[in-house]
């Protein structure tokens, strides 16, 4: 009886580990956000495996049933559509409950978008605060004000259709001259890493943008 937490590539399929492939082959079934996405990944690596849906819309309702399934199996893998489960993806509730039920957990290292975005940002990496996805409306202004005062690098995810509005809000609250990096489509063909000020970012992305986005904000000046 064991729950494996298995990161999957955020874009480039070559980023999956040999250990992850071995575990995906050997478990009794795989818990996944979207069975179509995971089946495509498994098919690419010629893995035949049973996939069971586990996502943000059913994780509360199905938690007890899934725990029973894990208890009745020798091993189960949890994956998300991309990246590491539990990092801005479903996983926390299941992992917490599994711990409470005495289920052994093995978490594999692997892909997650904010780490390469931070490392290649050129901003300090010795101390940082990861916010995940920030609120769409309520609480967004308060959170940006908190980021403005941080004495370390702030990192968060944003969707492409909200990027420009968020940048304009940041310019008003934080100031247009604060250093920022915007990484999109990491590990994919059209990967881009913008580095500059918030004002320069607004000019660069005012016509719109596509792809998954990670924003790194420079620390407040002392």
Q: Residues 122-147: pLDDT tens digits?
A: 999 999 999 999 998 889 999 999 99
Report the run of H or E that residue 77 belongs to, with start and end: strand 76-78
| Alpha-carbon gap, residue 18 to 103, rounded angstroms | 24
% pLDDT > 70, the chain: 100
Q: For residue 217, give both structure tokens.
A: 């904000």
Q: Which residue has the higher pLDDT, 218 or 74?
A: 218
Average pLDDT, the chain: 95
Exposure of 164 in the CB half-sphere (CA atoms within 13 A): 9
142 — alpha (psi -120 to 50), left (phi > 0) or beta? alpha
| Alpha-carbon gap, residue 85 to 96, rounded angstroms | 13
pTM score of the predicted model: 0.92
């Amino acid at each position: 009886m064991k729950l494996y937490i298995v990161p999957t590539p955020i874009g480039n399929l070559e980023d999956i580990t040999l250990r992850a492939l071995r575990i995906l082959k050997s478990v009794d079934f795989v818990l996944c956000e979207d069975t179509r996405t995971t089946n495509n990944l498994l098919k690419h690596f010629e893995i035949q495996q049973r996939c069971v849906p586990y996502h943000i819309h059913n994780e509360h309702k199905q938690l007890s049933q899934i725990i029973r399934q894990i208890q009745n199996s020798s091993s189960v893998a949890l994956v998300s559509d991309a990246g590491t489960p539990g990092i801005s993806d479903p996983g926390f509730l299941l992992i917490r409950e599994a711990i409470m039920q005495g289920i052994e957990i093995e978490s594999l290292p692997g892909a997650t978008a904010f780490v390469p975005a931070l490392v290649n940002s050129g901003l300090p990496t010795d101390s940082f605060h990861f916010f995940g996805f920030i609120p769409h409306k309520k609480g967004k202004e308060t959170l940006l004000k908190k980021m403005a005062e941080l004495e370390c690098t702030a990192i968060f995810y944003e969707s492409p259709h909200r990027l420009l509005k968020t940048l304009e809000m940041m310019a008003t609250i934080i100031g247009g001259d604060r250093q920022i990096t915007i990484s999109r489509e990491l590990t994919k063909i059209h990967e881009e890493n913008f580095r500059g000020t918030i004002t320069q970012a607004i000019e660069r992305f005012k016509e719109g943008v596509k792809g998954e986005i990670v924003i790194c904000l420079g620390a407040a000046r002392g």
